[in-house]
Amino acid sequence: MDKIRVVGGNPLKGVIPISGAKNAALPLMIASLLTSDTLTLENVPHLADVELLLRILGNHGVDFSVNGRRERQDEAYSRTIHFTCRTIVDTTASYDLVRKMRASFWVIGPLLAREGVARVSLPGGCAIGTRPVDLFIDGLAALGAEIDIDQGYVEAKAPKGGLIGARYVFPKVSVGATHTLMMAATLARGTTVLENAAREPEVVDLANCLKAMGAKIEGAGTSTITIEGVTSLSGARHSVLPDRIETGTYAMAVAMTGGDVTLQNTNEALLASAIEALRAAGAEITTTESGLHIVGHGDDIRPVDITTAPFPGFPTDLQAQFMGLMTRAKGVSHITETIFENRFMHVQELARFGARIALSGQTATITGTQELHGAPVMATDLRASVSLVIAGLAAKGETTVGRVYHLDRGFERLEEKLTRCGAEIERIAE
């Protein structure tokens, strides 16, 4: 199993291209199940989760082709993939594949909408909480589906004539359930109104793609989304929006190492709350024509209290990275996690660097320390793993991060991007 070796102490300086967003690319890829025409997605990141979803979609009958890298094109840039699903050949998504990635469960919406039946394994993914599928099941049932759970599979059947538009109020905000119900509703008869819907940029990106395919959707980006069902969708061409989590991650790495980096192909609107927190911590952030320019002051980081919340609040997917930054702050900060009940597994690993962190329920109290020291650490989930890399970049000495397959799920060419900015980082195959 590969490890990543980091020797800390080098401020990051240079340019980092931001890839397409994993959290947008996955539902966009799944949307290819809704049409027999070709859906072309540009700026698709090269990630383990994307490769796994390609396999899952292939089992359902989706053919795909990938455009090769053009001559002289930066290898860190993402790809263009063409998806065509003339016929759905299998409406079952097996446990062996779905258990590896929670987002693969979302195929249940398009399969049910297009074929009237779906059998999908209960999902897996990072071990950061229970994340039940009740909202998916209740929402699809509101659209008329009959649903049973049998031997670890969700079996869904649409009424004769297909799903029926309805009003559904999410009892809590769920990005995945919003994606799934929005896709299912595009082919339902009548009007669907989703209330207390997720407002994340990735939801807006999916809605824009679906509209390009002929869907009638209003209100994406607000808490109420209205979908007027259509009989069929066509192909389209769509570019995946920039990855706001990757943007925030590198911005925090620059702030922690005292670097000077331009993040290309991104924008501040995608993560305004995180940018606000970074500025409060002392980072200088300005908008450029190509993205964001970040200047950090690694020896003068101010403590900042944050609470994770659905968009436009502080993203839970940046909580671990921000905690890494706060371990070097001059003072005491507090981080409260409200989205997932088990997302502090990185605390014990950060403590191995010499970080001082105390937990009380869903709140972590971080007392900043002047110096971190490199250590062997173990990644526990996707976002926690990159927080350990950030800490290693700022720590004295050598750090090794195990279980880096988590990183490969969400960060495209991490070592290459950091190396180009002066980091001493390498992958060690074992």
Interval 11-60: pLDDT, tens: 999 999 999 999 999 999 999 999 999 999 999 999 999 999 999 999 99
Residue 380: band (very low, low, confident or very high) from pLDDT cuts 50, 70, 90: confident
| Between 28 and 70, residue with greater pLDDT | 28
Assess whether pLDDT exceeds 50 at residue 284.
Answer: yes
Question: How far is the C-alpha of 295 from the C-alpha of 298, rounded, in Å?
Answer: 10
Feature table: binding site for phosphoenolpyruvate: 22-23
For residue 189, give the nearest of 210, 168, 164 by alpha carbon.
Answer: 164
What is the amino acid identity at position 124?
G
Distance from the Cα of residue 78 to its chain's centroid = 16
For residue 401, with 0-12 CB atoms within 10 Å meaning exposed, 13-18 middle and 19 or more buried, which class applies?
Answer: buried
| Between 343 and 399, residue with greater pLDDT | 399
Report the predicted TM-score, pTM, of the whole model to 2 decimal places: 0.94
How do residues 162-207 score in pLDDT, each as one tens digit? 999 999 999 999 999 999 999 999 999 999 999 999 999 999 999 9
Residue 127 contacts by C-beta under 8 Å, 6 or more apart in sequence? 342, 345, 380, 381
Sign of the Cα pseudo-torsion (344, 348, 349, 352, in order): positive
For residue 196, give the nearest of 181, 186, 214 by alpha carbon.
Answer: 181
For residue 192, give the nearest of 163, 232, 151, 161 by alpha carbon.
Answer: 163
- pLDDT for the residue numbered 72: 45
Residue 68 contacts by C-beta under 8 Å, 6 or more apart in sequence? none
CB of 388 within 8 A of CB of 350?
yes
Report in angstroms the alpha-carbon separations of 197 from 130, 316, 412: 20, 17, 29
Assess whether pLDDT exceeds 90 at residue 427.
Answer: yes
Assess whether pLDDT exceeds 50 at residue 238.
Answer: yes
Question: How far is the C-alpha of 418 from the C-alpha of 427, rounded, in Å?
Answer: 12
Feature table: binding site for UDP-N-acetyl-alpha-D-glucosamine: 102, 131-135, 172-175, 317, 339
E strand or H helix that includes residue 244: helix 244-257
| Between 326 and 94, residue with greater pLDDT | 326
Q: In the CATH scheme, what is the code of domain 3-15+242-428?
A: 3.65.10.10
Feature table: binding site: 22-23, 102, 131-135, 172-175, 317, 339
Q: Where in the chain is the domain with CATH 3.65.10.10?
A: 3-15+242-428, 26-239
Question: How far is the C-alpha of 90 from the C-alpha of 320, rounded, in Å?
Answer: 39
> From the candidates 85, 126, 209, 421, which is the catalytic residue?
126
- Do β-strands 424-428 and 376-378 pair in parallel, antiparallel, or remain unpaired? unpaired
Q: Does domain 26-239 have CATH number 3.20.20.20?
A: no
Half-sphere exposure of 43 (CA within 13 A, CB side): 19
Instruction: Locate 251 and state its tokens.
Output: 């911005």
CB of 150 within 8 A of CB of 183?
no
Active-site residue flag, 126:
yes
Check residue 221 and give left, alpha or beta (phi > 0: left; psi -120 to 50: alpha): left
Assess whether pLDDT exceeds 90 at residue 133.
Answer: no
- DSSP at 316: G
Instruction: Locate 20 and state its tokens.
Output: 């397409």
108-115 and 134-142 are packed helices; what angle lies between their axes, rounded to 10 degrees?
A: 20
